[in-house]
Amino acid sequence: MASTTSPGGPVRRLAGLLHRRPSIRLAGLLSVPLLWLVVAYLGSLAALFVTAFWTTNEFTGDVVKVFDLGNFQDLVNESVYRTITLRSVGVAVAVTVIDSLIAFPMAFYMAKIASPRAQRWLVISVLTPLWAGYLVKAYAWRIMFSGSGVLDWFLRPVGGHGPGYGLPATIVTLAYLWLPYMIIPVYAGLERLPNSMLDAAGDLGAKSFRTFRTVVWPITFPAVVAGSIFTFSLSLGDYIAVRIVGGRSQLIGNVVYDNVGTANNLPFAAAVATVPVAIMVIYLLAVRRTGALENL
């Protein structure tokens, strides 16, 4: 404290300099974050992207640093990768549709029907499971789907049995994991929708469904799209849930993981990793016009 109060101290002089020169202040503030995010992070991403054009030596496993489009050619030409890509996109779409179908009525009840007090508690009870963590929830569904598990026990009286591990289990688990990410933006969007508009629609003779179709849906659509960005992108990159409940099914993430790990082919893994990134960029560009990005 003594040094900062004495008028001529070095700290005070530095403070004076910073006060007179906003540009130095700005440079100081930006330097470390930009060094971290641009040089370290974007640098790593760029290096990975360059690696995608290299190959590995088949015998030694060393990376050969020669420009080559072979990885991308394999990716396009070999049908197994097309199947896995389509399957991953299909899973991401299914998860997004399921989540919006479950989230919309819940968010509508929370925003428009529940009393303010109940509203607060409902928001808390929807958000609390988010903190329980990804693995815990994926594990919970592993238990639900297991051979002698709850679903089996629940369906046995009606003559059915649980679906077991596989793609349907993966879709259910992912939909469960990302559900709050859909409920919250939709709830926020519905909260912004004035009640007077619903009343006006009712006064003009619209029934519930017509009010929904012509008033509620067009206004909240950007919020649903905002939620879908989370559900879609998080599902697209996932490879853990599918290993926990997916049985032998494979998604894009698994191909990347296996190529880094067991196959030790980083160049090919890097090439595969560009697929979800490219799909996400296209998706973001497509939804930008709906105004969804302002709803995040």
Partner 1 sequence: MTLSRGARVALRVAMIVGLAVIYVPLLVVLINSFNADKTFGWPPTHLTGEWWTRAWENGGVRSALWTSVKAGVGATAVACVLGTMAAFAVQRYRFFGRETVSLLVILPIALPGIVTGIALNNAFRTVLSPFGIQLGLFTVIVGHATFCIVTIYNNVLARLRRLGTNVEEASADLGADTFQTFRYVTFPLLRSALLAGGLLSFALSFDEIIVTTFTAGAGVQTLPIWIFDNLFRPNQAPIVNVVAAALIVLSVVPVYIAQRISGDTRAI
Q: Scanning residues 116 to 145, which ones bind partner 1 (CB under 8 A)?
A: 122, 124-137, 139-144
Q: Among residues 94, 242, 270, 271, which is the contact residue for partner 1, using CB under 8 A?
A: 270
Closest CA to 230 of 192, 179, 173, 277: 179
Smallest distance, partner 1 to C-beta of residue 96, A: 15
Binding residues among 79-108 for partner 1 as defined by CB under 8 A: 102, 105-106, 108
DSSP calls for 93-146: HHHHHHHHHHHHHHHHIIIIIS-HHHHHHHHHHHHGGGGG-HHHHHHHHHHHHS
Binding residues among 11-30 for partner 1 as defined by CB under 8 A: 11-12, 15-16, 18-19, 22, 25-26, 29-30
Binding residues among 35-64 for partner 1 as defined by CB under 8 A: 36-38, 40-45, 47-48, 51
Smallest distance, partner 1 to C-beta of residue 28, A: 8
Q: Among residues 188, 198, 219, 263, which is the contact residue for partner 1, using CB under 8 A?
A: 198
Rounded distance, CA 193 to CA 186, Å? Answer: 11
Rounded distance, CA 275 to CA 279, Å? Answer: 6
* 269 near partner 1 (CB under 8 A): yes
The CA–CA distances, whole Å, from 287 to 26, 190, 216, 274, 282 equal 34, 19, 19, 20, 9
Q: What is the contact mask toward partner 1 in residues 237 to 256, using x (rule: CB under 8 A)?
A: xxxx---x--------x--x
* 184 near partner 1 (CB under 8 A): no
